[in-house]
Structure 1
Amino acid sequence: MKMRRDIDFRAAHVCVEAAVSHGLRIGAPLAAAVVDGSARLTAFLRSGSAFVRSTEIAVNKAETAAGFRMETGALYGMVKDNAAVLEGLRSLPGAALFGGGVPIMFADEVIGAIGVSGGSEDQDIECARAGIAAIEALLAGESQAFGNERGLADD
């Protein structure tokens, strides 16, 4: 039996901090949420000037990206021309079908996802990727900063 790995809470916190900090640098106050591979909330951060509703949207984007194992914008692109599937997805509570939800990968496995909300769609995607880049930089250079398996928690 293969053991599933999830993002470690320390790596998740690095991710949301980097995403929100990047948002502030580009003038986009926002909220960022990281979920594990089962779409359970692991870390959350919102800048003080972010829209209040950005909180819920960020979590929804992260859960959608983890649940479907793909970027939320790509999910919409895949289903937009199929009215029945699109309507079905829109009827799911919390489904986010626009950019800003990005899976977090390790060794070709989805170990979590980040959702970002508060900027434009392009800014949200950029900030989500900045959060993932921060994890990758730490994993590449500071494996001692994380718990077991370099930022991964076994489930």
Structure 2
Amino acid sequence: MKNAIASMLAAAILLGAHSAASASDASFAIRLMTPETALKAASAALASCRSAGFQVAVAVVDRSGLIQAVLRDRFAGAHTPETAINKAWTAASFKMNTTALAQATQSGTASSGIRQIPRVTAVGGGLLIEAAGAPYGAIGVSGAPAGDLDDKCARAGLDAVLDDLNL
């Protein structure tokens, strides 16, 4: 009887320890940009495009693809805010820059069907925002004459906040 009670007590202790380990495995912590950081990135991207003579819209989304900041220059086309949002959403959703996604989903490739998913915008201008080994979100730019120029402006926005996020 004494051995049975000792065995049950040992089993209860082991189950308790296992439950504690399972509880910590059931959740995780993530890092998120503040709205001020998102706005800083968007402002820097807009300024970069403006200095190059381009009227654009810029969007920054969090790691889930939810909008944190959107800026549209006064003469940017009506389509540019939604396109910038979708470029940022696409980069965050697929965890890759949209120029790389455009290459990977070209017509005739096994992944070409991805372009048929609503909101996917597989053209240049969407960059991931990653720092200190963690994804924070993405930035999208729309309105420059070509995707590589949108990429360049988005890179300026990303560069403006990387030091802040790496701390």
TM-score by length of 2: 0.78
Higher relative contact order (CA 8 A, sep 6+): 1
Structure 1 alignment gaps of length 5 or more? 141-149, 151-155
Q: CA RMSD in A?
A: 1.6
The question of 1:75 aligning with 2:101 is answered yes
Aligned length: 140
Any runs of at least 4 consecutive aligned residues in structure 1 with deviations exceeding 3 A, and if so which? 81-84, 137-140
- Three-state SS of the structure 1 residue aligned to 2:61 is strand
Structure 2 counterpart of 1:56: 82
Structure with more strand by fraction: 1
Structure 2 alignment gaps of length 5 or more? 1-26
Summarize the alignment of residues 54-133 of structure 1 with structure 2, pairs less than 5 Å apart.
Answer: 54-80=80-106, 82-86=108-112, 88-119=113-144, 120-133=146-159
Match for 2:104: what amino acid? Answer: M
Q: Is the 8 A contact 1:37 1:112 kept in 2?
A: yes
- C-alpha displacement of 1:37: 0.2
- Cα deviation, 1:58-115, whole Å, max 9, x if unaligned, reads 00000000001110010121222644521x2122111010110000002222110000
Structure 2 counterpart of 1:28: 54
Identity in percent: 38
1:10 and 1:122 map into 2 onto residues whose CA distance is 26
